[in-house]
A and B are shown apart, each in its own frame.
Chain A
């Protein structure tokens, strides 16, 4: 262990291996599930069924889906508050996620956590955290536990370009490299921290270099291309799993919606959003490959669309009809 490593920034990463038809179908379905789920969540928020804050993941789907395709069972996931996509991609039940958004007893946190706070020990998903940047130290702690137990697992710790300016991120980078912890830091750079553009908040806008002073290698990845995400994820996970310490992936991505439901997103132009949607949409890229390259028919895709809609509609029905938590739940789960 602790072999002298070369910086992958200096090496030219080989281009992503093209997906097989089955991989493209899997990626298409998983990304579509997140998008349809989030659209439905937005609709249900509009109907007053979802309260408080609701941060949608629309546009960023390729990041979690590509990373999930690169991960192994046992690897942990932790993220911030824009977390519905991460939960769905780890295989958490759409009904349970939606029912948590509506604050019902069948929600994954029994209705007591809400949009920003859900967990699944079974799927090794450790939240869902509402304090910007807190998950970076926590995810480093998950990696500490992996290293302590020598179980060969890696902690995949997601955070945004906004969280990347929090102090504890760098405290965590330092310890992760010092102790060679198996953690992949995935920085989802969606260009805006709430309403503040990266250029207005970040002195170093190349987030892959944010670990440079700790000797943590990093690379920038086209986060709208699920193939590129998976390939980079595999490199980073292998590096961390082999005992070389942490690795940073800056995923260059974009959120189509506002920061939260109540954000009209006046800080960017309609044209900017439209350009990303038409030229870089992660789902459309895969759809085009499936139709043109893999010779999948429109009807095949319609069937996937229908399946996904059925899952989302069932989740919405459940989340609307499931009762609120029993009042006795007020005083449970405070101490174990």
Chain B
């Protein structure tokens, strides 16, 4: 049966082309790979190669033809012994259902469907701490180390790698003692090679291990961000659910003190933009411990953003054998009725101090600690704003496309009728972090700015 040769598409966007030259003549023998003709697109001249073997039967589109639509039959190829008058059959069964490239390239607008909506996930509340549980005072630093040690005892597939994590005991002493307990096989000093060791960690995770990759600071993770996003975050989706990455990327994020622009960036909003990642940024030691343990057990790639200044802050941590907190649940740090202040990580220090000051002035602020940035507990924010009618967000990151911007958009969408004032953002200033002490102070948010914003939204 004769086989039709169709005008091919040779780029993702090609719809038509010119047939500039026939290289083979009617009656020529062709085998697969032979050049049959040359066609010209808006970008280039390309060769059309034969896929099937036989004899070039009839040329259907002559040399010099302009604007030949893709998928137009341009010739027939005959099997041995067939003559040119044989009725051409479709090139392949495939051709029958071939959509035109134009149609294929056009944006597909799927019919509205109840199933094509983001799944609603219900996150369990924090586990109850049993009455009578002893609390111990711990720094965030100690809580993070305990979380790693407990999970490494529990699961032999968990290991930690990064710069100075082993023999030096951690640049910020978060991995103190881990080498002594777990040995060099599971506590691994890497060369200064963020892009490389992030990729090695993701590869090990694809093979089923559960790496904790420490970045000395998240500023240096910019060298590795391709592996974090393109390899870790997207592989589950691109593999149709086959290959997952159970990996935690952790380290200090945001401004420390007097280290200037390259060492003082808050990446929360960057990572929170990416589907396929979970992003956690705890404030208290108890949350740091419970959430890091949850992160290590989670089968997804997790960005765990710590804060250098908070490392030495002490908090009460429940003394429980296995304190694991839910990822994706905000915490009401302070109840109030007049305004909702939403923050996370070190932003909570400004928020809580401002709330104390405001209480003295007769304004009763509710303070929400997001703890997890992605998935964000929007329900908790909305529930609070439905009560208070006002919202101020606090973060050290830059204003444009920041976490506050996201919260404002969510509230417009889900609580517009409950708002009695515009949502206001208190953020880091829209500048690279300056070195000079006075300028650095100005670049960061302050308690006074939070108080000012609250007064503005409460019309006080």
Contact = CB atoms under 8 A, between A and B. Distances in A.
Given A113-B240, A126-B243, A320 B94 contact: yes
B98 A121 contact: no
Contact of B203 (A107, A113, A131, A139): A139
B193 A175 contact: yes
A108 interface: yes
B227 A137 contact: yes
Contact of B104 (A48, A137, A262, A327): A48
A128 B231 CA distance: 11
Contact of B98 (A47, A128, A137, A313): A47
B46 A48 contact: no
A186 to B, nearest CB: 16
B204 A145 contact: yes
Interface in A91-127: 107-113, 117-121, 126-127
Nearest to B110: A327
A144 B203 contact: yes
A43 B6 CA distance: 9
A291 B350 CA distance: 82
A203 B191 CA distance: 25
Nearest to B112: A327
Interface in B198-241: 198-209, 226-227, 230-231, 235-241
Interface stretch (B54-62, B113-121, B172-180, B431-439): B113-121
Interface stretch (A9-17, A231-239, A243-251, A328-336): A328-336
A137 B243 contact: no
B: interface residue count bin: 35 or more
A251 to B, nearest CB: 22
Contacts, number: 233
Given A47-B98, A129-B231, A320-B97, A137 B198 contact: yes
Interface residues of A, number: 75
Nearest to B11: A262
A130 B227 CA distance: 12
Contacts of B64: none
Contacts of B260: none
A215 interface: no
A118 B242 CA distance: 9
B23 to A, nearest CB: 11
A316 B94 contact: yes
A134 interface: yes
B77 to A, nearest CB: 12
Interface string A309-336: 0000100110111000011101111111
Contact of B197 (A109, A117, A171): A171
B258 to A, nearest CB: 30
A334 B275 CA distance: 7
Interface string B87-106: 00001111111111100110
B49 A48 contact: no
Contacts of B32: 39
B349 interface: no
A40 interface: yes
Contacts of A316: 92-94
Contacts of B71: 47-48
Interface string B41-60: 00111111101000000000
A240 B185 CA distance: 19
B199 A118 contact: no
Contacts of A172: 196, 199-200
B203 A140 contact: yes
B43 A262 contact: yes
Interface string B1-40: 0000010111110100000000000000000110000000
Contact of A46 (B6, B113, B116): B6
B195 interface: yes
Contacts of A108: 240
Contacts of A138: 199-200, 202-203, 206, 227, 231
A110 B241 contact: yes
A118 B239 contact: yes
A266 interface: yes
A137 B196 contact: yes
Contacts of B278: 335
Contacts of B202: 137-138, 141
Contacts of A262: 10-12, 14, 43-44, 46
A172 B224 CA distance: 13
A110 B235 CA distance: 13
Nearest to A260: B11
A174 interface: yes
Given A134-B230, A139-B203, A141-B201, A44 B33 contact: no
Given A262-B10, A313-B92, 5 more contacts: A46-B8, A47-B71, A126-B243, A138-B206, A141-B199
Interface of A: 39-40, 42-49, 51-53, 76, 78, 107-113, 117-121, 126-131, 134, 136-146, 148, 167-168, 171-172, 174-175, 178, 256, 261-262, 264, 266, 277, 313, 316-317, 319-321, 326-328, 330-336
28 contacts: A40-B51, A46-B48, A49-B94, A49-B98, A109-B238, A109-B242, A110-B240, A126-B243, A127-B243, A131-B226, A134-B226, A138-B202, A138-B206, A140-B203, A141-B201, A145-B203, A145-B204, A148-B209, A168-B195, A168-B227, A171-B197, A175-B200, A262-B10, A262-B14, A330-B110, A331-B117, A332-B241, A334-B237
